[in-house]
Structure 1
Amino acid sequence: MCQNLFLLNLANNNLIGFISPQVTGPSFSLVVLDLSGNQFIGVLPMEIGILKNLEYLNISENMLFGKIPTSLGSCVKLEFLDIRRNLFQGIIPPSLGSLRDLQELDLSNNNLSGQIPNFLEHFVYLKFLNLSHNHFENEVFYRAHDFKALVYEFMENGNLEEWLHPTPRVDDAHEEKRNLSLLNRLNIAIDVTNALDYLHNHCQTPVVHCDLKPSNVLLDDELIGHVGDFGLARFLLNNT
């Protein structure tokens, strides 16, 4: 039963039906599992937690639904987890707090809800996080010195589009502040450049944003630019 199989890549085919528990069962010692870009339906089998050596899991762009299995938290060696563009519901299970080695996490474009867990702040290796296009009730603020690309639902100063092309507001006492000096613009451009350089050249798996525009450049209370909304982003798995 291919007991020494450590990599299974079935990405970007027209595979349909359910993900068999046998794929994630104890017969394999998988390190890499890529089932992305197919038409799988149903739930992600609880047996996924048996894959103790799994470091890379990509099941994005399918039609999987139900809850994220709590057993996924047993895959403590995971460094890359991508479940974007599915139909997963419910909360981010607390068991995922065990995945302390995660470097890239994409849960975008699902139907997830509830609170964004605080344990994300303790993922010291996390370099890429995308939680956009869900129904979360709160914001996430991940504090790391080398984190260059983070998705925030809201920021105090909105996005760059609102500053470049402000919409007149009635009785807005702060309207006069919605002007960017040349230095502000230069600094924001540098922030965006640094974020893209990090995504392209310093992530373990290079990332292409694919939707960079002023409305996706978010500004914090100090007008520092943050690249947001990774719903169309793509990972370059065969980068040379």
Structure 2
Amino acid sequence: MDNGSLQRWLHPNASSSHENELPKRLNFIQRINIVIDVASALDYLHQQCHIPIVHCDMKPSNILLDSEMVAHVGDFGLAKFLIGSSLDSVANQMSLAGLRGTIGYAPPEYAMGCEVSREGDVYSYGILLLEMFTGLSPTDDTFRDNLTLHNYVTKALPEQVLEIKDNILLQERESHLGPYSPPHWLFKSDGTFQ
């Protein structure tokens, strides 16, 4: 794809193979459009396909961006068809040896051998959303000793929402408001003045 993976845009330093490559940055509107595209893809896989498909590895490196910055879900190597009425738990169950997904993105129940499900993809999508708006990967060194990206964001909401958002988004906000914008502590978590 023309614009590579979402991973390259969210974490350009970690995924750049060229030292001279300029950092890629996504503005707020681009991020919203990408999450809408991914949600539409998941809806198609889960609800519109004749046999529902669970991706099982929803993460930024599997989201590809075309020349118009439209997001496409790729890498179906771990995907699973959901077969049968009520989705046949025996066919959809996995062992620990067959753990699906990537640590940090896969739902915790997958590590306990629970069956793959649409809900697992939705969990991974939620982690993807948190990553897109905090700028932090769930596999970041910050997240050790049972601290996860999900817990980190939950603890910060709603009082410290501006403290956890991606600095690129904060810079974008400040550039729109100008140098004389009020300090961030004057804003409520919904963006209105206190």
Q: TM-score range by the shorter chain?
A: 0.3 to 0.5
TM-score normalised to structure 2 length: 0.41
TM-score normalised to structure 1 length: 0.33
Q: Could you say which structure has the greater relative contact order, defined with CA pairs below 8 angstroms and 6 or more residues apart?
A: 2
